[in-house]
Amino acid sequence: MPDSQVLQADVIVVGSGPGGASVARELTKNGKKVLLLERGIDQRSRSYYGTYLGAILYSDRGSLLFSQEGLNIVRPLLVGGATSMYCGCASPPPTWLKEKYGVDIDAEVAETIDELEIAPLPPGLRGVASTRIARAAQALGYNWQAQPKFMKPTRAQKFDCGAKCMLGCRCGAKWNAAEWVDEAVAAGADLRTRARVERVLIEDGHAVGVSGRLEGRPFTARAGTVILSAGGIGTPRILQASGLKQAGQGMTMDVTVMVYGFIKEAGIGKEPPMTWSWEDPEVGYMLSTLLDPWLLYPLINVLKGPQYLLTWPRWGNILGVMIKLKDSISGGVFPNGKISKPLTDYDRPRLKMAEEVCRKILVEAGAKPETIFMTPLRGTHPSGTVRIGEMLDTNLQTEIAGLYACDASTFPEALDRPTVLTILGLGKRLARHLINQ
């Protein structure tokens, strides 16, 4: 048995979330020999997939990853990346991506919407309590809309979507980037799991491969093109280890909190997450219907104070509105392994404004004002760590020839909306750029 394995390809793609899956699938289908390296494994057939145990097993640090400031970061590490635990929401890319940064992915996004039949859930599946929140918001003049989803109820044997759907989809309704990995593999891509890439190999200013550990043993892979799609935390870490020190300085997160209020009737916990939403582009935040899964609820809210544990028995009666804030670039992902994501003086008052709007909506929807509270901060969109316009050109190439990033790390500012559709558009566009080269 050799000490070190050496693999070879035309293109190496690191990470199999939406960024890696989309670029690998497109390149493979167009005849490129692609090596797809994924740190995690394919968990979809495991009995614990989509359970609380599963979420602990396949999230970084058992879902207990925190920034230095105490912000809880959910970072799934498995085939399909964070789409294995996402809420299945789809939003088009912000117009500023094209207008301000010159990145036009309109055609790729339109194609993806058609291909995956992205649309809101039918009215009857949007949830009675969720719809009650949306109607209350509309009555107050906020134009909430049904949220387009990467979900097709007809794909499920029994559509059974609730807050627990964030642990991993067990009913099969929700699209996952792992499906595009399957398609890439069927078209000839070489997928290696338990392959943790540590650094990019660079010779004469050109990327020539990567090195790391494959199933615990050192390995090297060589290719003329390397695409890092290891996510908003993984990609800057690999770049730092490869000598690109600017990576990871500053980050965005779409910092998230929930505002909860209690009613007598059934709440939103057993309804699909995020079926309705609304954006305030002026202030810079998005609101949507959402509640933590039953067992995560006390774990998160005990961080706010032990008295909040007392609300757990009433989980079934909660109306929840999630705030996603368009946060400033701050903190970063550091070579010592630490992550920092402080709110800035610009962020805090805007979060407060969003909270006030949530409180009004919940009261209008029937929640008693004294029951309403805001949860601790968390982050599910680590991003903006290898930004377009600073570290990347409009084709997502770094200063190193042949070295690209294609994932949430590339966002030049906080997206403040579901990220996946934008990332899929970036992946398709990068693949086409490379094929045309």
Ligand X SMILES: Cc1cc2nc3c(=O)[nH]c(=O)nc-3n(C[C@H](O)[C@H](O)[C@H](O)COP(=O)(O)OP(=O)(O)OC[C@H]3O[C@@H](n4cnc5c(N)ncnc54)[C@H](O)[C@@H]3O)c2cc1C
One of 7, 9, 12, 17 touching ligand X (CB under 6 A): 17
Task: Find the binding residues for ligand X in span 408-427 (CB under 6 A).
Answer: 408, 418-420, 423
Q: Are 201 and 223 in contact (CB under 8 A)?
A: no
Q: Does the protein bind ligand X through residue 191 (CB under 6 A)?
A: no
C-alpha–C-alpha distance, residues 207 and 190, integer Å: 20
Per DSSP, 308 falls in state G
Rule CB under 6 A: say whether 343 interacts with ligand X: no
**What binding mask, one character per residue, do residues 157-176 give for ligand X by CB under 6 A, x or -?**
---------x----------
| Beta strand pairing call for 217-222 and 5-8 | parallel
To ligand X, the closest distance from the beta carbon of 124 in angstroms equals 21
Q: Residues 125-154: x/- map of binding to ligand X (CB under 6 A)?
A: ------------------------------
How is 83-124 classified by DSSP, letter by letter?
GGSS--B--PPPTHHHHTT----HHHHHHHHHHTT-EEPPGG
Return the number of the residue (32 or 196) whose C-beta is nearest ligand X.
196
Separation of alpha carbons 146 and 133, rounded Å: 12
| Binding pattern for the stretch 27-56 against ligand X, x by CB under 6 A and - elsewhere | ----------xxxx----------------
C-beta atoms surrounding 364 within 10 Å: 17
Contact 352, 311 (CB under 8 A): no
Pick the closer one to ligand X by CB: 281 or 305. Answer: 281
Gap between the Cα atoms of 364 and 263, Å rounded: 11
* Of 77 and 184, CB closest to ligand X: 77
Q: Which of residues 68-107 bind ligand X (CB under 6 A)?
A: 74, 76-78, 81-83, 85-89
Q: What is the CA radius of gyration of the chain?
A: 21
Residues 245-284 that bind ligand X (CB under 6 A): 274
Report the site for ligand X in 279-338 (rule: CB under 6 A): none
33 versus 199: smaller Cβ distance to ligand X: 199
Q: Is residue 18 near ligand X by the rule CB under 6 A?
A: yes
Q: Binding to ligand X by residue 211, rule CB under 6 A?
A: no
Of residues 381 and 387, the one with the C-beta less far from ligand X: 381
Q: Which of residues 370-389 bind ligand X (CB under 6 A)?
A: 380-381
We find the least distance from the C-beta atom of residue 49 to ligand X, in angstroms, to be: 15
For the bound state, the minimum distance from the C-beta of residue 240 to ligand X, rounded and expressed in Å, comes to 12
What does the block give as tokens for 206?
A: 């050109």
Between CA 75 and CA 17 the distance in angstroms is 11
Q: Which is nearer to ligand X, 45 or 370 (CB)?
A: 45
Determine the Cα–Cα distance for residues 377 and 134; give it in Å rounded to an integer. 23
At residue 317, the 3 state secondary structure works out as helix
Compute the least distance from the CB of residue 152 to ligand X, in Å: 15
Cβ within 8 Å of residue 141, ≥6 positions away: none
> What gap in Å lies between CA 35 and CA 95, rounded to an integer?
33
For residue 276, the cross-strand partners are: 146
The span of 61-69, 180-188, 225-233, 349-357 binding ligand X (CB under 6 A) equals: 225-233
Q: Verify binding: residue 234, ligand X, rule CB under 6 A.
A: yes
> Distance between CA 373 and CA 257 in Å, rounded?
10
| Distance (Å, whole) CA 227 – CA 403 | 6
- Kindly list the residues in this chain that would bind ligand X in the complex (CB under 6 A): 14-20, 37-40, 74, 76-78, 81-83, 85-89, 166, 195-197, 229-232, 234, 238, 274, 380-381, 407-408, 418-420, 423
